[in-house]
Amino acid sequence: MFWRARVKLAASYAAAIALTVLVIGVVVYYVVRQSLDHEINSSIQTAATQLLKEDARDRALLSGLSGQAFAPGSTNPDSSVDHTPTITGLATDVFFVVTNATGAVTSNPRQVDTGSIHFNQLMASATAGTVWHDVRANGSNYRISTTMMPPLAGTSSPFYLSVGRSLDSRDSQLNTLFWILLSGGAIAVVLSGAGGLWLAGRALSPIRESVETQRRFLSDVSHELRTPIAVIRANNELLLRHPESTVEANLDQVEAVAVESEHMTRMVDDLLTLARADEGRLALEREPVDFGAVADDVARDMAAIAELHGIEISRECSAVGVQGDARRLRQLVLILIDNALKYTPAGGRVTVSCRRERGKAVFAVEDTGPGIPQDDQRRIFDRFFRAEKSRSRGLGGTGLGLAIARRIAEGHGGQISVTSLPGKGSTFRVQLPVDSEGRPAGATGSAPRVRDGESAKTG
């Protein structure tokens, strides 16, 4: 699915680039052609204007009256006689030919091969003024301007002045430009296609990850709900088989239904919390909170659970004021301490600390458990991710706690991280911005009931 979308995006991008290159190429080609044509036309027009301004003597030389007329396509056999009028500023690649009313060439100073040029056709359309023609002769293209000259004194037949210039140089430049634009455009389209494929992959990567995350999420939710639903259903079936039995007689089944229902309720609440966080709707109060007091209170409350498992809890909490939601911060602390207790074996130690470091409120939970493998550390805050049950002493959980903890920390403008070495325990660290007004004493939450370093040790 994603590969097809990636190809479509790349093709669309390449098509857009191709269209852009085509438009730019056409514009460039047209502008260059217009510029070249303007220069050619200007040189022809300048030469024609100068030739038509010559005096009668020079005009007579132009018209060939001082010598004989030559047959069309021929040149003046008397090459020793210079019939060229004095013309200043005439471009070297501009030629001019004078023909009489019959189309015979009377003057061809630059000896252009005019054998295949039909001057009769040019003269026919020049009776009303100057006309322009692009003609092909002798394998070359020419642009010719033909103007009817007024009769000279003592004559009644008009003469025609044809001024022209070869278009071969222009055509060669345009041909080179065409192939440059074509090859450059083709290369640009190929590169844009490859680049578009890469960019489409980058653009679709977050979407693909999001879809895969949703798939895993739905699979994990289905897996997590399957067990409690199966337990509730099985126990209900047992109860339905003996409707005459009292509650006391079926107390095990009733308790199992209650426990699994409670488990499902917690899971649904956790999922709703994460869903609201994903949508940016996680409700957080903003009030002064003594984060140290909150951490110390939760650690003190968890001491009883730690004692049941033979684990020592050490509390090293100082007053640190933050702006936040006391209820959510308590939930954050509870999740991290509960997680540490699950993975710390009997006889181990869990250290809870909270202090101010470099303008941050730093809360840390350090345990002496088996540690977290490097690969698992990258996924430890993912939803439904849980380490091996053997490492958690068989204590269950939904795998959503650390994901919620991360959301709470980020919702308070902070961050959460973990450092761990296999066999040497783990340390979860939360950093939150300190209250800018620095009000830990009057903040919400109880003041620490113990001094720094006081421990709550199991018997």
Domain limits, the chain = 2-174, 200-278, 287-456
- Which range among 19-23, 128-132, 151-155, 273-277 has the greatest average pLDDT? 19-23
401-423: pLDDT as tens digits: 888 899 899 989 999 999 998 88
Determine the pLDDT at residue 458.
33
Topology classification of domain 2-174: Beta-Lactamase (3.30.450)
287-340: pLDDT as tens digits: 999 999 999 999 999 988 899 889 999 999 999 999 999 988 998 999 999 999
Question: For the whole prediction, is pTM greater than 0.75?
Answer: no
Determine the pLDDT at residue 193.
86
Indicate the average pLDDT of the chain. Answer: 79
CA gap 303, 315 in Å, rounded = 10
183-228: pLDDT as tens digits: 998 998 888 888 888 888 887 787 777 777 677 767 767 766 777 7
Please, what is the end-to-end C-alpha distance for the chain in angstroms? 60
86-143: pLDDT as tens digits: 455 566 778 888 888 777 888 887 777 777 777 777 777 666 677 888 888 778 888 8
368-403: pLDDT as tens digits: 988 888 888 888 888 777 665 445 454 555 678 888
Whether residue 354 has pLDDT greater than 60: yes
Topology classification of domain 287-456: Heat Shock Protein 90 (3.30.565)
149 and 61 in contact (C-beta within 8 Å)? no
Question: Does 3.60.20.30 match the CATH number of domain 200-278?
Answer: no
The arithmetic mean of pLDDT across residues 32-47, rounded, is: 91
